[in-house]
Each structure stands twice: as C-alpha cells, then as structure tokens.
Structure 1
Amino acid sequence: MTYNYQNNSDTFIIIHLNIEGERMSVSGYAYSYARVMSRMSDILSEGRLKDLMVMGTKDDFISSLMDTTYKEKLTKAPSTDLRNIELALKGELIDQYLMVLRSTRGKVNAFFEEHFRRFEVKNLKAVIIAKATGAITEEPLFFPVEDFFGRNMGGLMDADSMKDLIMRLENPYKRVLEAVLLEYEARKKALILESALYQDLCGAIWARMTGLGPKDRAIVRKIIGTEFDIINITTLLRCRAAGIEAAEMTKYFLPYSYSFDFNTDNVNASMSAEDASTVVQLLPPSAYKEVLMGAISEYEEEKSLIPFERALRNLFSDTIKNTLRGAPINIGTIIGFLYLKELEIKNLCSISVCKENDLSAEETMGIVML
C-alpha cells in the first residue's frame, strides 16, 4: 500500500478504501484459512512417505495408512484392491476441495470452483484417451465430482464413436470439443481434443484469477502461472518427441505464462531441435532450463521424458512449499495446501501401485516425488 501524507480528506478516503479492500479480500477466505491450518499437520512428512515406501507388502502399506487421516475413507472402501484404494484416496482429496469451497465466498470462491473443475476435466480426458487409443480394459477411475457439478459423465465409455461421446456431453465440454471434432476425425490425434479442453479450462481459471484482489492475484498468478509454464514446456517436449512440426506445435501451447516467454528466438529454435536434449539446451535461461539441464543425463540413459517431467514437477513442488513458508494469512496458504494434498495422494497412489506389483523400495523411490 502506498501512503500519501498530504493533509486532505481525499487522501484519507483513498487510504481508507485500500485498507477496506484488503480487509474484504482477507474476509473472503479467513474461515477457510483457519480450517486449512487445522489440517496442515495431517500432511505426511517426507520421512513418513519414505517409511510407507519401505513397507514390505501392500497390506503393510494399507495398515500403516490406517494411522493417518485416510483411515476413514479406507475403512469405508469395499475392499483393499488397487482400484478401491485409489478411489478412497481421490475421495479424500475431493473432500478437502469441498471444505475450501464451503468456507470461501465471493471472487475467492469463484476462483476455487473453477480450479476445482480441473478434476472434471481429468475425468473426461481419461475417457477420451481410452476411446482414442482403444486401450479400454476397465472403466477409468474418476474423481468423485459429479454431485458437485451436476454433469453426468456416466456411460461415456459405451459411446460408439468419439462423435457420439461428444454429443452426450453437456456444456462447456460439448461446445469446446464440437469445435475441434472435424479436425480430430481427419487426423485422429487425441492431443487435439486434450488441448481444446485445457485451453478452455486454463482460460477460465486465468479469468477468475484476474478478478481477485491485487495481493491475491499476484500470489495466485505466480502459482498458476508457473504451472502453466510447466504445462507448455512439457507440451513442447512431448510434441518434439512425437515429431510434431513447430507450426502445428504452437497450437497446443496455452496463451498464458508467468516467467517463460514462448516468443523468443531460443524457443522457436528449440521447436525444431533433433531431440529432447537439444530442446532443453536451446531454451532461454530460466529456472525451468536449470532443472531440465540437470535431468539430461538421466534422459539419455532412459530415453524417456519422465526424468524431465519429474524435474519440472519437483520445481513446482518447491514453488508451493516456498509459498507456504511461515503460513502467511493469504490465499497462497489455501491453494498451497490443496496442491500439497494433491501431490501427496498422487504419491500414495504410486506407492500402492508399486506394492501391488512387488517393486522394491529403491524402485518406488525413483517414482515417488518428495
């Protein structure tokens, strides 16, 4: 806040309005902040996650989880098979979002509701990929968000074609996917549909972010903007690996960023690079390039993009943890908690899969992101 000490009533009014604006902003999430702080201690420490990774069997892993906040969900699960464990864990994540949505209001609530819609998009993406690739062995494991949004996605796997699937959807998804259906039918690339979904979702999230107060907007822009930067860099790496030409590749980038400019000569050159290593080396200097450079040797050994994707996810995790330092009374603590919870549940699902497939603790540690 900038104070002007001229002795007149207009200046006093300006200062007063600024203070009231900040109070109104904080009041939009004060109750939610208190509820989040009461749950922050439930986040599993790095040491606790490592303990879970070295558990001998899946049953040992589940038994140990019974000493955590996941006990209630796991106890209610009909069985301890892999699908039911994952569904129980996803249900716990959704409960945390619903807690935030019930305890916020106004523009803060509107932002979190749009952000929550990511899980509905993830559900739809899983169906689209399954239908497009023909890799249909069983129903995808949905995040339980249907009751909140009121959009029925049941039965989509029974659709005869992608067109039939899209026609069964409700807006905004029907409208968004119909717009690119002809292109998809001509080229049969699931990326066309995925990109359309995420362009729409991320645009809506960005719009809600810009409606927040100045301080909240700056905090959220850093977090969301970093995530969008990482999505774009990951898209670049995947497109290059798939042999997609630069002219087409640009269609799949999100038009939003935080600290990575896709309009530089370096990035344009990287789009035509021979392989992922060269893509990374040609990128302009940034925190993203720094962590990617550190993963090149692992990429060369594995010939997989996973080391690069893991490096970027670790960078995003560090961004979240830095936002949470000191538990400031602002929107960053709430969104940071939700992202940490999401990361934790991804890790627990990964550990569960590793236990189901008898992977060693060392192999599991190579998959889980701490």
Structure 2
Amino acid sequence: MSSILEYEPKLVWKHFDEIRKIPRCSKHEEKIREYLLEFAKKQGLKAKTDKAGNVLIEKPASPGMENKPIVVLQGHMDMVCEKNKEVKHDFSKDPIKLKIEGDKLKADGTTLGADDGIGVAIALAILEDKNLKHGPIEALFTVDEETGLTGAFALEPGFLKGRVMLNLDSEDFGVITVGCAGGGDTIITLPVKKHKVEGDMAFLVIRISGLKGGHSGVDIHEQRGNAIKLLSRILWKVKQKCSLLLLDVTGGDKHNAIPREATALVAVKKGDVEELKKTVESEGKDILEEIKPIDPGFKAEVKKADSKNEALDKKSTEDLINLLYALPHGVLAMSFDIPGLVETSTNLAKVRVEGEKASIAMSSR
C-alpha cells in the first residue's frame, strides 16, 4: 500500500492521518484540542473541556440501548516528540512524515506519535460511525500523559458519568490488560568543578548515533542500545589510555524514550589524539558486533571541535564517566508468574552538564 488511507478500518486511518499533521507535544495540546472540539461540533455531539484542558465528547446510545452502562473510551492527546539530530523537523508546526516499510508504518526520523494517536483515532472513528450499535459513550481525551499523567490526575469529580472505562493506550491487538506498571522518575545531580584548560590540547566530539531508541516501557526488553550507556563505555575505555577531560556530555531527551544519540565534548593532549581515535574505533566495532542483530545502524564517530577555555577537572571527569558507566539500564527482573513479562526495568534517559553540576534522569518501572 502507498497510503495509510488505504488501510482498514478506513475511519481509523483517516483520523490518524489528520492527527499526525497536528502539533501535540506534551504540555502543548492546544491544536489537537481544537481539532477534537471541531470534530464534535461537525458530528453534532456534546463536548466540553475542564481546567486542565482535558476533552470529553459524548455520543448517545443507539435506539433501544439507552439503558446500557456508559462506556468511557480514554486516550491521551499528547505525544513524545523526539527526532534524530540531523533531521530538520519543528514539532511546533511540522506534520509527522510517514514511511511505509512492508507491513509497518513508521515515521521518517522522528517519533510517530501512534502513542496515543492511534488510540485517539480509534475513539474518533467509533464516535463518527453511524452503523455501530452501542450504549452511551463518553470519549475522554487527556493532556500531558507522557510527562506525568497530568490530565488524568487533574480530573475532577463529576466530569465523567461513566464507571466502565477502556483505556486505548496499549501495544497488542486483541489483548485486554487489567493492570498497569507503577513507575518513578529519579534525577541524579553530581556536583562538578571546572578549571582552565592549559597545555597543548586538542578538542574533539565523540558522537553515538544510528540507534533505534524506542519506548522505555514497550521496547526495554529488546536490549536496544542506549546511546548514553554506550558513550560512557567508550569514554571509560578512552580514559584508561588517554589523559582525558570532559567539557560536556549530552544524551537523551524524554524520560520514557531510550536515548538514540549522545555526544561528549572532550579535551586530550594532542599526542593522545590518535590513541583516542583508535580506542573509539576499536570499542565501536566491539559494540556493533554485540548489538548488530537489534541495532545495526550504530555509529561511533570522532570529529574535531573548536577550542574552549574551560573543562571539568580530572576528578569531576572521572566521577561523571564512572557514574554513567555504573548506572543500570534495561531489564532488572522478569515476572515469575507470567512468562515473558518484564517486572522491573529502568531507563537511563538523559544527561546534561549545566554550570557546576551534571544532571542525570532515570525512569524506572
């Protein structure tokens, strides 16, 4: 197929094709909310919003089914907005570019937004379909799910009438889930000290790219590469052989996304440049050999950088590399009761050096 509009059921894909054109990063759901309210108006359905920005659309029961219990169909408006570094895409205005590979629908260099765009599309298709026979329906669309379930927590008593809810935010067709993982976010702050860079030093960028990334809940069991972990592994190897100072480390962005890219800006003695490059190349080959079955696009590159005046001192450099190298990522425990079910996992999600501290974000489930 060359277009998702050829997919079945057509109503679902019609709405998903419209939704993917609408900016809807977490905490910026204004446009998608307008779309939902306009949809309700065109369909002649009652709609309302609350203080948090959640939207509720009501569809009356089919004739003869008025006494059936109200069913709430719930999805969230926002999406995780992530893109590859080299991709030019403005999530505040640009539509998601689609590509079809075999029987899979993907985005071109960005997140697809099927979480939970497809859930919203399913609910809209049910609201629009005139041929379905059903009891009363309430379609609830919440805001800011991806960064902390803000809309769900802000629901006030009386906004909904229904007491039976189907959450349309899952991964497996034909599967009904009756429970949900708990989770928590952790921010680790490491104080760092900087000093003036002295001596005959070269400045280089070590960059990790080409990884699949993915959702820290859905994809964590696949052992996809984490750019921050792989970068820290390379840095740890380099510092065994070279006099290395860190200037900056950047990787990841969202707490629930497995980092696809990470970079380190480093300073080394000019006499150590070739050794650094050899180490990055050698370790990069080892890493690719290990993760090639799941992440064949992995790359580790070294490029020249502009000179800088300050770098982390030796102890801060050691502490930060060691911490990143030691922090866990991935599946920590599997369920004893349900085969194949991840029970405990953690995502090393983000690292930044800002002023006199390094901040590291972890997301655990």
Q: Same fold (TM over 0.5)?
A: no
Q: If the TM-score is normalised by the length of the shorter chain, which range does it land in?
A: under 0.3
Calculate the TM-score normalised by the size of structure 2.
0.22
Give the TM-score of the pair, scaled to structure 1: 0.22
Larger radius of gyration: 2
RCO higher in structure (CA 8 A, sep ≥6): 1
